[in-house]
Structure formats: C-alpha cells, structure tokens
Chains A and B, each alone.
Chain A
Amino acid sequence: MATLHVELVAVERMIWSGEANMVVARTTEGELGVLPGHAPLLGQLAEGGIVTVRTVEGEDMVVAAHGGFLSVTDRGVSILAETAEISSEIDVERAREALRRAEEAGDDPDALAAARRAQSRLRAAGQDA
C-alpha cells in the first residue's frame, strides 16, 4: 500500500520525518484528512491547531503546531510550523502552568496567543484544556 512521506518542520529544526498512512489536520477552512494520492494542496493551519499523523506502524502521532502551513505534493506532505511539539514530548505540567499564567495575565494579545498555544499543547497531549 502506498504511503505518504511526511516532513514536520519547525523554524529552528526538522522535528520529524517518515512514512505515514494518513494525516489529519485542521486548516482555517475546516478539518481535512490526507491519504496517499491526495491532490496537491496548500493550506494554512488553524491557530492553535493540532495535526495527527498516523504512521505506518499504526500509531497516532499527535502534534501541536503553531502558526503553520500544510503542503501536500505528489512527493508527500510537509507541515511547516513556527513551533511544533510532538505529544509525547509535551510536558503537561508545564503547559498547564503556562496556561494558568497566560490566563492570569489578562487580555493583551500576547497573553491570548500564549493561552492558545498552551491549550493546543494540552489538547495534543490528550488532556482537557
């Protein structure tokens, strides 16, 4: 069976690359699933969104991606993000702490953005946000 070559790239480093059976992401327009053979596509990921990559081993890798784009070509899928974290690397305690701090900080745009990032980290880690 055909597989997708997935590259997950953050600004500071390449986070993950490998083969996958499916990628599920949410763009600003809505939820979207990519299977092998998908038509070429460029999408902007929703703010604070999470991306799920089903690897060939059958595991679901959940990624919190902030400020990202999704590009599907005939050679595979690349996910570009300003920062991205794989769920297994997310420190739940720290994310909660960050969320609490951001919520206390009030209404300025930076705090709201920080809160959204923390929420998506928690969601990716499978916790309630």
Chain B
Amino acid sequence: MASNLRALRRRIRSTKSTKKIFSAQELIAGARIVRAQARVEASKPYAREITRVLSALASSASLDHPLLTERQDARRAAVLVITSDRGFAGSYNVNVLRRTEELLSLLRQEGKEPVLYVVGRKGETYYSFRNRAVAETFTGFSEQPGYADAQRVGEQLIAAFTAGEDDDETGAGADGILGVDELHIVYTEFRSLLAQIPVAKRMAPLEVEEVEEFDYEREDRDSGVTAGTGDSGVPTSYEFEPSPDALLDALLPKYVTTRIFAAMLESAASESASRRRAMKSASDNAEELAKNLSRQANQARQAEITQEISEIVGGADALVSAGADD
C-alpha cells in the first residue's frame, strides 16, 4: 500500500514536469506562428511583382523556354516534399507524407518514375526507414527558412530538370546525367490557425494558363486603379533589356525559386500552428492526468490512514481484552 502511494507520487511529479515542457513548446510555437505569418505576408509583394513581370513577358517572348514546354512522354518526375525537422507537431508530417504518397501513386499510374527530394528531417527518416531512394535531402531550416535555402533547393531541382531535357528510353541522354521531366511540390498550405491543408502542385513545366490567369487578375486590379487610361484590353508593349528570351531565361528560375520559398514559408507557419495545437492538447492531457493521479494518491493515502487507525484500535482492543482476563 505504501509503495503504491510512492509510485503514484512519482508519476504525478513526472507528469507535471512533462507538462511544463509541453506548455513551453506551446508558447514558443505560438510566438513563431506570428513571426512566420508576418514573413509570409512580407514575401508577397515580391511574388506579386515577379508574377506581373512574367505575365508581361509571356505576351512578348516566344514561349518555348524549357521550363514552359510540356515534354512528350515524360518519364521521370521530381517531387519536392516539405516536412519539419522536429516532431511534436501532431499530424503535420503524417498529412504531408500521405499527400505525397497519393501523388507518387498517381505519377506511377501515369507511367512516370517519381524522384524524391525531401526537406526536413522527419521526411528524411520516414523514407530512410522504409528503404526508399531519395535523390536529395535538405535539413536544418524547416522552422525558419531563408531565401538562401530556397535557392539551394531550387538550383538542384532546376539543374535536374535541365538535365532531363535530352533523356530518352535508354537512360541519360547526351549529357550523361539522368534528369527529370517534371517538378512537383508537396507542402502544407496555411489557411488559418485551425486549418492547414497539405497540397500538391506542379511547378514545371509551368502552365501558361496559369500565367494568363494571373494576367487577368492583374488587369482586374489595374482597371480598378487606372480607370480611364482606356487600353485595359491591349497588353502594354514593353521595351526589353536584354532581349525578351534572355530575360525569360533569367526570370523563370527565379520564379520557380520564389514559389519554393513561398511554399517553405507557408509550411513553416503551418508547422508552428500544428505544433502549438498538438502541444496545447498534450499539456491539457497532462493536466488531466495529473489531476486523476493526485485523486488516486489521495485515496491511497486516506486508505493507508484508515488502515493504520483500525490497526491501532484493534491492537488497543486486544490489549484491553488481555488486561480484562487478568
């Protein structure tokens, strides 16, 4: 009985100390969300501007840039998965990885061999545990990604994509490097503090429809701002320095990198939101557990006291009755 009480007390102590860890994590994650959200917002002007420049270019340059053209019989498709470095984030990684599996089986059905690129230690361990081949992993920045990180990832992917241009059925083409024909990205979109949704998108070949779609958005906005200038239906004719094609060459890789960066920022915000939620329920559970355990401990202590009293009373009774016999 006494040992039981001691065991209970020990469990209460450890539950309480883990609860402290959970609530500290919750607070940290809470602070990070705010920062991450601010970074998502801060990166939007650039994304908007580069999209605008690109759509202006798209109407003038010839659209046969490798990043824009659909390849006949695409054989290999790169998939960039963005996961977190640390756990303690609830279902965040599970959801992203599940979405990835869906995309992978879809690609296989289409007869394309998926090539994995993984961001984040959790994704890395997921695939290495299952002995799945991963082309490249990038770790160490999932919570606070910088543009330099996105650049590193982007360079790798674009290099692989460029190398894939001359591949044929027999393997690597003239350049001897086995590249890829498509680029996909799977990341977690930050809708709100309560909803983060894993999404899969194709980055390359870029769909020109997409560019046009942005263009319409722009024109809608323009017509609101510069009502009266008249020529909203006619695309503005630009001067280019250097030539449109050279500009497109320089701009498209940056555009892809910008999209990777945006995805990383969204994922970082989602990761923190997910972590805060998970840590909140974990610390609530720990609280609950500690409460139940202390009730049990109180009961055990009460029972112990009762037993001691009845032993004393019993002992005294026995002494009294022994004395009466004298």
Q: Mark A1-19, 1 if CB is under 8 A from B, else 0.
A: 0000001011111100000
Q: For the complex, is B312 an interface residue (Cβ under 8 Å from A)?
A: no
Q: Decide: B240 and A14 in contact? CB cutoff 8 A.
A: no
Q: For the complex, is B93 an interface residue (Cβ under 8 Å from A)?
A: no
Other 8 A-B pairs with CB < 8 A, given A7-B45, A27-B242, A69-B251: A11-B258, A29-B242, A39-B239, A40-B238, A40-B239, A41-B241, A43-B241, A44-B242
Q: Decide: A44 and B226 in contact? CB cutoff 8 A.
A: no
Determine the chain A residues whose CB is within 8 A of the CB of B129 once the complex forms: none
Assess A10 versus B56: contact at CB under 8 Å? Given A41-B241, A75-B226.
Answer: no
B27, chain A: closest CB distance, angstroms: 25
Q: List residues 51-104 of chain A with CB under 8 A from any CB of chain B.
A: 67, 69, 71, 73-75, 78, 80, 82-83
Determine the chain A residues whose CB is within 8 A of the CB of B250 once the complex forms: 44, 69
Assess A42 versus B254: contact at CB under 8 Å? Given A29-B241, A74-B229.
Answer: no
Q: Decide: A71 and B52 in contact? CB cutoff 8 A.
A: yes
Determine the chain B residues whose CB is within 8 A of the CB of A69 once the complex forms: 50, 53, 247, 250-251
Q: Decide: A80 and B242 in contact? CB cutoff 8 A.
A: no
Q: For the complex, is A105 an interface residue (Cβ under 8 Å from B)?
A: no
Q: Decide: B254 and A41 in contact? CB cutoff 8 A.
A: no
CA distance A13 to B250 in the complex (A): 21
A23, chain B: closest CB distance, angstroms: 14
Q: Mark B225-252, 1 if CB is under 8 A from A, else 0.
A: 1100100000011111110101100110
Give chain B's interface residues, CB within 8 Å of chain A. Answer: 39, 42-43, 45-46, 49-50, 52-53, 56-57, 146-147, 151, 222, 225-226, 229, 236-242, 244, 246-247, 250-251, 254, 258, 261
Interface class of chain A by DSSP: strand
B141, chain A: closest CB distance, angstroms: 14
Give chain A's interface residues, CB within 8 Å of chain B. Answer: 7, 9-14, 27-30, 32, 39-44, 67, 69, 71, 73-75, 78, 80, 82-83
Determine the chain A residues whose CB is within 8 A of the CB of B222 once the complex forms: 75
CA distance A44 to B52 in the complex (A): 15
Q: Decide: B147 and A13 in contact? CB cutoff 8 A.
A: no
Nearest first, the 3 A-B pairs at minimum CB distance are: A43-B241, A13-B42, A14-B45
A29, closest chain B residue (CB): B241
A70, closest chain B residue (CB): B241
The interface centre, meaning the residue of B39, B240, B258 with most chain A CB atoms within 10 A of its CB, is B240
Q: What are 27 sample pairs from A and B whose C-beta atoms fall under 8 A apart?
A: A9-B45, A9-B46, A11-B147, A11-B261, A12-B39, A12-B147, A13-B43, A13-B45, A14-B46, A27-B241, A28-B241, A28-B242, A32-B241, A41-B238, A41-B240, A42-B57, A44-B241, A44-B242, A69-B50, A69-B53, A69-B250, A71-B49, A71-B53, A71-B56, A75-B226, A82-B147, A83-B147
Determine the chain A residues whose CB is within 8 A of the CB of B239 once the complex forms: 39-42
Q: Decide: B241 and A11 in contact? CB cutoff 8 A.
A: no
CA distance A69 to B236 in the complex (A): 18
Choice from B42, B53, B147, B229 contacting A42 with Cβ under 8 Å: B53
Choice from A12, A42, A44, A67 contacting B238 with Cβ under 8 Å: A42
Determine the chain A residues whose CB is within 8 A of the CB of B146 once the complex forms: 12
Determine the chain A residues whose CB is within 8 A of the CB of B53 once the complex forms: 42, 69, 71, 80
Q: Decide: B46 and A80 in contact? CB cutoff 8 A.
A: yes
Q: Decide: B240 and A42 in contact? CB cutoff 8 A.
A: yes
Q: Decide: B236 and A40 in contact? CB cutoff 8 A.
A: yes
The interface centre, meaning the residue of A11, A13, A73, A78 with most chain B CB atoms within 10 A of its CB, is A11
Q: Decide: B50 and A42 in contact? CB cutoff 8 A.
A: no
CA distance A80 to B47 in the complex (A): 10
CA distance A28 to B242 in the complex (A): 7
A27, closest chain B residue (CB): B241
Q: Decide: B49 and A78 in contact? CB cutoff 8 A.
A: yes
Q: Decide: A11 and B46 in contact? CB cutoff 8 A.
A: yes
A108, chain B: closest CB distance, angstroms: 15
Determine the chain B residues whose CB is within 8 A of the CB of A28 once the complex forms: 241-242
CA distance A60 to B70 in the complex (A): 46
Assess A42 versus B226: contact at CB under 8 Å? Given A7-B49, A12-B39.
Answer: no
